[in-house]
Structure 1
Amino acid sequence: MTPRLFVVSAPSGTGKTTIVKRLVEENPGVSLAVSHTTRPPREREQDKRDYYFVSDTAFDEIRGDNGFLEHADVFGNRYGTSRREVSEKLASGCQVILEIDWQGAEQVRRAKPDAQGIFLLPPSREELEKRLRGRNTDKPEVVERRFSEARHDVRKWTDFHYVLVNDDIDETCRRMSKILTGDGAQYAVSDLRHRARVEELIGADDW
């Protein structure tokens, strides 16, 4: 199978980190391109496994050398994916996943037009709010800001090649695995029946 680059994006609280982690664990031929970030590690996060935790100075140096394929400021912290990280993983023969926001995805599309975009949606506005408030890792004002931005982010799904509604983790992982192996055409945004189902979901909710 030809190594390809996949960009996975979703509104905050949709569950993309959980799904991507599981895909990588269950599929030896799939690898996550670990991002750099200036934010402090959360509990149980490990350097070089979850993120490359770096200082602002180190981040600026990589950015100044055009070392990032994409980078963005998110809630006061900076994130970026290094070009070397992606190139080395693709050269090893893996299917490579970038877990980034839609702004980063736009940068990747410009730099690598052959990258495939996968967008995850929550099953409803209420479920999204429940997930965000249930994290217990952010201050209330941060949760409110995440929820406000997430309601805006759901509209970005039409910019991607594939869209999945994460109403069941097992099923979402199964569907994403099919996309990674080239068998996920029924989940493409270009599939009119699938697109209609997603539009019905988005239109039926007061986002």
Structure 2
Amino acid sequence: MTQGNLIILCAPSGAGKTTLARRVMARLQARGLEASFSVSYTTRALRPGERDGHDYHFVTRAVFDQMVAAGEMLEHAEVFGRCYGTGRARTEQALDAGHWVFLDIDWQGARQVKAHLPALACSVGVLPPSRAALEERLRGRGQDSEDTIAQRMAEAVAEMSHYREFDYLIVNDDLEVACDELEAVCLAAGLRGPLQQSRRATLLADLLQSD
């Protein structure tokens, strides 16, 4: 089977990674490439406007722990009392079909995925242009209390402090520029030597065949 590409997006809430990813997936699809967003599992409560199975798979802590124990998670992490994880089966099926699969996970999950799938995983840190801009975006949602916003800002600092671990860093200031940069990263990730050696084995054998 043809192996796909795993694009890990790590960013604090409010950095715009979901919008960025969906636009770049549309660009890849316009090139005739298959791209999909992995829907994570979480134990946190559903927020206004979210849909189960679309934004996240919302499950209880008991169900989440059972999935982890059964080895059904590609990665999982607990952040401020809430659990998040990526289902293994659907992710591997999409990769086996040659898809670009986007993961929206934190730095802890990124570490686990890169350890499990080092040849396929490419990690991208998405940063806001400033702390003030990030806070403004969080307030612009109109969903959270002052205490929640303060907590999200603290979470953001904790997430961004791991910037050295990512393969690429993109500052999401101008959305179109950020889309151009992420698209370039995705295309470059698909052309990495080890992946191409596997995918193009027949061509390489033919090109190097002695007369």
Structure-2-length-normalised TM-score: 0.80
Alpha-carbon offset, residue 65 of structure 1? 0.3
Query: Structure 1 stretch 40-49 or stretch 4-13: which is displaced more?
Result: 40-49
Paired with 1:24 and 1:40, the residues of 2 have a C-alpha distance of 27
What does residue 134 of structure 1 align with? 140
Q: Structure 2: how far apart are the matches of 1:75 and 1:23?
A: 30
Query: Does 1 or 2 have the higher relative contact order (CA < 8 Å, sep 6+)?
Result: 2
- What's the CA shift for 1:72? 1.4
Q: Taking structure 1 as reference, are residues 152 and 64 closer, same or farther at Cα in structure 2, changes over 3 Å only?
A: closer
Contact 2:73 2:87 in 1 (8 A): yes
Q: 2:41 aligns with which of 12, 23, 36?
A: 36
**1:90 alignment partner, one of 92, 95, 118:** 95
Counterparts in 2 of 1:64 and 1:179: CA distance versus 1, 3 Å = same
User: 2:44 aligns to what SS in structure 1?
Assistant: coil
What is the alpha-carbon distance in structure 1 between the residues aligned to residue 35 and residue 102 of structure 2?
7
Amino acid at match of 1:123: P
- Matching residue's letter, 1:41: L
8 Å Cα contact 2:127-2:169 kept in structure 1: yes
Assess if the C-alpha contact under 8 Å between 2:3 and 2:96 holds in 1: no
Alpha-carbon offset, residue 50 of structure 1: 1.7
Cα 1:184/1:110, change in 2 over 3 Å: closer
In 2, are the aligned partners of 1:10 and 1:101 still within 8 Å (CA)?
yes
The residue correspondences of 1:22-171 to structure 2 (distance < 5 A) are 22-28=23-29, 29-114=34-119, 115-171=121-177
Q: How many Å apart are 1:9 and its aligned residue?
A: 0.3
Q: Deviations over 1:30-55 (max 9, x none)?
A: 11111111223223322222211222
**Equivalent position of 2:8 in the other structure:** 7
Question: Contact conserved, 2:43 with 2:83, CA < 8 A, in 1?
Answer: yes
How many residue pairs match? The answer is 185
Q: Aligned residues: percent identity?
A: 40
Structure 1 counterpart of 2:204? none
Unaligned runs of 5+ in 1: 186-207
How well do the aligned residues superpose, as a CA RMSD in angstroms?
A: 2.1
Return the index of the structure with the highest Cα Rg: 2
CA contact (8 A) 1:33 1:89 kept: no
Counterpart for residue 198 of structure 2: none
2:21 equivalent to 1:16:
no
State how far apart, in whole Å, the 2-side matches of 1:39 and 1:77 are.
5
User: How far apart, CA to CA, are the structure 1 residues paired with 2:190 and 2:92?
Assistant: 25
- Which residues of structure 2 form unaligned runs of 5+? 192-211
The answer as to whether partners of 2:20 and 2:175 remain within 8 angstroms in 1 is yes
* Corresponding residue SS for 1:97: strand
What secondary structure sits across from 2:75 in the alignment? strand
How much has 1:2 moved relative to structure 2? 5.3
Letter in 1 for 2:152: R
